[in-house]
Amino acid sequence: MGAALAEAEQASATGDVPVGAVVAGPDGKIIGWGRNAREADQDPTAHAEVVALRAAAAATGSWRLSGATLVVTLEPCTMCAGALVLARVDRLVYGAHDPKAGAVGSLWDAVRDPRLNHRPEVITGVREQECARLLTDFFAARRIPRRAPS
């Protein structure tokens, strides 16, 4: 999770929501890194998980990431949950829950749907407070202070 947190911190520099992800291969070695880059790349699909999955696929020469673990600072959305299922990732580890868009238990549970042909193991709440703090600090810095009523 430390490597994913480092990626998340770098996302803020480009105005992107600080979410970071890494993909570890079966041996535990990181084979893909990613951070949110929607603002930096002007790409609506440039979520940390998708960026990391693409990097891991390029590094391995295969879209099938069997045996891999995706570690991400925030619960994946529906797009990212679908991508990790389609990539055949064996394990998902995430930090903070996302009550507004989470698709791994918060709003939906796209990765553990029994109708799918692949269901990864899910581990939640890893370094949750650190992951959540990055997000709350990021959004707090962007809020316009409200004036007191006169």
Helix, strand, coil % in the chain, rounded to nearest 5: 35, 20, 45
Query: Which is catalytic among the residues 9, 39, 49, 130?
Result: 49
On the 0-12 / 13-18 / 19+ scale of CB atoms within 10 A, 72 is buried
φ/ψ of 26, rounded to 5, equals -55, -30
* Residue 75 bears catalytic tag: no
d(CA 47, CA 38) in angstroms, rounded, equals 7
d(CA 59, CA 130) in angstroms, rounded, equals 29
| Catalytic residue numbers, as ranges | 49
